[in-house]
Amino acid sequence: MVAMRVPSCSGFGIWWQMANGFFAVAGAIAIKDLAVEWRTKTALVSSLVFAILVLAILYFARDATAVSAFEVAPGVLWVTFTFAGMLGLNRAFLLERENHALDGLRLTSATPHAIFLGKMIGNAVFVGLVQLVSLPLFILFYNVPIWNRLPVLVLVMAMATLAFVSVGTLLSAMVVRTRFSEVMLPVLLLPFLVPPIVSAVQVTWRILADRPMAEMTGWLSLLGAFDVIFFILSIMLFEAIITE
Amino acid sequence: MMPPDVGVVATDVAWRVGYRWILKNISLTVAAGTVTLLVGGNGSGKTSLLRVLAGLARPAKGSVSCQGGVGFVAHHSMLYDSLTGRENLAFITRLDGGHAPARVDALLKQMGLERAADQRMGTYSRGMTQRLAIARALLSDPGVLLLDEPLTGLDEAAAQIVVEVIKQRRQDGHAIIVASHQLVELMECATDIGFLVSGKLAAWEPVNGRDAGAVMQRLRDLVADG
């Protein structure tokens, strides 16, 4: 165990302690969410099964003599990630609805911002796990040559995931008190996801086509802009969402 | 700044759901070292008042101040079935910025849960879950303890543990408000009684040696008076 020494009296020390506490709370919430999911495995199993099914069905639905795998692969990849990830987003706040646990979180000294960040990190790890399993299957099914461009693909996956989980965490908190939260979440979330997913598909297409990096920077910048906007708006609005 | 001998001050608190007013201009002061029983019929606003005092519901009007933090035991445990009793309490201490395994162990022991501490809460009986919820509320050693039907589902031994906790908190100078229909068990530790009728605080009186039957008769009179 490494203990970091921090000056306790200086302004920097106070800021450090506050930031440390903030991230410790967010980390505790994320770890709790992942521990609960690991024990129940409800969302993880259903998301992985869904992802594998989508990849397989769309592969066999294609007429290989008329449409090349390369043409449909970017769309297939992001449809898979988006819908499989959505199953996990639903779970994030359903867990807090059980036994009214969200009230328990609000009664602690955890700030709404830290709660949001913790839930968001938990969702991001969940979506990351689904992607980690889906990506090799995608490469296997569609036989796409991405090994030399894998870091760029991982970058765009991380950026799109950030946008996805930012707005997804906010909206799942919003719909969890409604009677049909499982239906409401996709209805509300998908319109917000169109711009970042279109950007991700465009970049993925260029990665698969081995196009120069310069062709992707515009789309990556757009994706980055959505990441920043979605994250800031979501973390700001979260307090109003969870307050009665 | 509240005086040190005051636990809770609510001033002209009103709260509504949609257009329906659930709480109507409630003002109260609860002294430290007292136990107040909140009494009222179903739908009189007991749970809503406790939620407003706990800070879980924002009043449409008025203000609430609590000295030394609030612990709240609601109808639901506000904990996670998939975590063990110990993990649930450890998680809450981390959110409160600490890591106090000794405090967690002491509370589990006080609530008679030390043997079930490493079982998942989902396997607990209703009474065990309720005691764990009370342990959660006591984790931060709050100055004010709010209990909503704390004896529901508890057997005699478990109810006695909860009553002893209430007495101990009162002796330690904390303010306690209990909303309950089970007055017989709670009368021995109560000092004051608040009567809620249709969202209004109809009366706030000392116990003065009354038993549960006399309290219920007083409530019926207040309801009849409107």
Judged by a CB distance cut-off of 8 A, whether residue B190 touches chain A is: no
Q: What's the whole-model pTM score?
A: 0.88
How far does CA B47 lie from the centroid of its chain?
9
Write down the mean pLDDT value for chain A. 88
Other C-beta atoms within 10 Å of A141: how many? 17
Interface probe, candidates A42, A91, A107, chain B, greatest B C-beta count within 10 A: A107
Q: Are A138 and A80 in contact (CB under 8 A)?
A: yes
Give B218→chain A minimum CA distance, Å. 33
Q: Detail the DSSP E strand segments found in chain B.
A: 6-17, 20-31, 35-39, 61-66, 70-73, 144-148, 175-179, 192-197, 200-206
CA dist list (Å): B30 to A33, A98, B37, B208, B210 = 38, 32, 11, 17, 19
Q: How far apart are CA B69 and CA B136, in angstroms?
A: 13
Name the phi and psi angles at A62, rounded to 5. Answer: -85, 140
Judge whether B2 and B29 are in contact, CB under 8 Å: no
The single-letter DSSP state of residue A147 is G
What is the Cα–Cα distance from B74 to B177, expressed in whole angstroms? 12
Q: What pLDDT band is residue A1 in, cutting at 50, 70 and 90? A: very low
CB of B96 within 8 Å of any CB in chain A?
yes
Query: How close B95 gets to chain A, by Cα (Å)?
Result: 5
Alpha carbon of A186: minimum distance to chain B alpha carbons (Å): 26
Do residue B76 and residue A21 have CB atoms under 8 angstroms apart? no
3-state secondary structure of B123: helix
Closest by alpha carbon to B82, among A47, A2, A91?
Answer: A91
- CB environment B183-205: b (16+ within 10 A), e (fewer): bebbbebbbbbbbbbebbbbbbe
pLDDT in tens, chain B (226 residues): 677 778 899 999 999 998 899 999 999 999 999 999 999 999 899 999 999 999 999 999 999 999 888 999 999 999 999 999 999 999 999 998 877 889 999 999 999 999 999 999 999 998 899 999 999 999 999 999 999 999 987 888 888 989 999 999 999 999 999 999 888 889 989 999 999 999 999 999 999 888 889 999 999 999 988 6
Q: Each residue of B70-122: pLDDT tens digit?
A: 999 999 999 999 999 999 999 999 998 877 889 999 999 999 999 999 999 99
Q: Is the pLDDT of residue A5 over 50?
A: no
Within 8 A of B82 by CB-CB distance, chain A residues are 35-36, 39-40
**Is B92 an 8 Å CB contact of chain A?**
yes
**Is-contact A127 A47, C-beta < 8 A?**
no
pLDDT digits (tens, 9 = 90+) for A46-91: 999 999 999 999 888 888 788 887 788 999 999 999 999 998 888 8
Nearest to A104 among B70, B79, B81 (CB): B79
A7 confidence band (pLDDT: 50, 70, 90): very low
CA–CA min distance A241, chain B (Å): 13
CB contacts of B56 in chain A (<8 Å) are: 103, 106-107, 244
For residue B159, give Cα distances in angstroms to A80, B24, B139, B212.
52, 32, 19, 17
CB A25 within 8 A of CB B94: yes
CA–CA dist A220, A229 (Å, integer): 14
pLDDT at residue A2 in the model? 39
DSSP A66-118: TS-HHHHHHHHHHHHHHHHHHHHHHHHHHHHHGGGHHHHHHHSS--HHHHHHH
End-to-end CA distance of chain B: 36
Q: Residue A191 pLDDT more than 50? A: yes
ipTM: 0.89
Amino acid at B21: W
pLDDT for residue A129: 94
Determine the straight-line distance between the first and last CA of chain A, rounded to whole angstroms: 41
Q: Report chain A residues whose CB lies below 8 A from the CB of B78.
A: 99-101, 103-104, 107
Which of B92, B94, B118, B130 best probes binding to A when mutated, by most A CB atoms within 10 angstroms? B94
**B83 to chain A: which residues are within 8 Å by CB?**
32, 35-36
The rounded distance, in Å, linking the Cα atoms of B36 and B29 is 10
User: Residue B78 and residue A29: Cβ atoms within 8 Å?
Assistant: no
On whether any CB of chain B is under 8 Å from the CB of A95, the answer is yes
Burial A148-180 (b: 16+ CB within 10 A, else e): ebeebbebbbebbbbbbbbbbbbbbbbbbeeee
